[in-house]
Structure 1
Amino acid sequence: MDISMITQRLGNQIRAMRINRGYKQADLAALAGITRQKLIEIEKGSLSVAMNAYARVIAALGSEVKLVPVTMPTLEELEDLFDE
């Protein structure tokens, strides 16, 4: 699996959890001790953001990372790869 797809999925999950919990980007960024711009990059699945920043956001959401076996990408995810 392409590493950019992994970070994209993680970013999508972080964004969904933030919205589900009713946080604005600025709120979650403040809780995590990072800038709003950094959170935007995390939600995009940026490879240039340090793992520490991802971990801070995940902790601020009161969550943890769980590794699961790879599943086949959806058609939408494949489409996104070709759009880049």
Structure 2
Amino acid sequence: MMPIQSAAQLGSALRLARKQLGLTQPDLALAAGVGVRFIVDLEAGKPTVQLQSVLKVIAALGVELALTGLDLP
């Protein structure tokens, strides 16, 4: 598991996942229903990307986002 503590780290992790799947940025954008520019900005670590769109990209990659260190019911 890779700890994510910044937008840049999230972008790097998602870029790695995309490349491991053999997807181009346009391929991922199409699969996630977002624009290519969004993928470029996300992978570059732009801190103002929309969370809902980030979650779509995460789902399209088949990875998950998890929070640890919380005692959730």
TM-score where L is the length of structure 1: 0.71
Aligned equivalent of 2:11: 11
Alignment of 1:1-84 (within 5 A): 6-67=6-67
Structure 1 runs of 4+ off > 3 angstroms? none
CA distance in 2, matches of 1:65, 1:51: 12
Root-mean-square deviation (Å)? 1.3
CA distance in 1, matches of 2:53, 2:46: 11
Count residues in correspondence.
65
What code does the residue aligned with 2:54 have? Y
Q: Percent identity?
A: 34
CA distance in 2, matches of 1:68, 1:45: 22
CA distance in 2, matches of 1:36, 1:68: 30
- Structure with higher Rg: it is 1
Spell out, residue by residue over 1:10-68, the C-alpha distance to the aligned partner (whole angstroms, 9 max, x if none).
00000000001000000000000000011000001111111111101000001111235
Mark the runs of 5 or more structure 2 residues left unpaired by the alignment. none
CA distance in 1, matches of 2:21, 2:67: 22
What code does the residue aligned with 2:45 have? G
CA distance in 1, matches of 2:67, 2:19: 22
Mark the runs of 5 or more structure 1 residues left unpaired by the alignment. 70-84
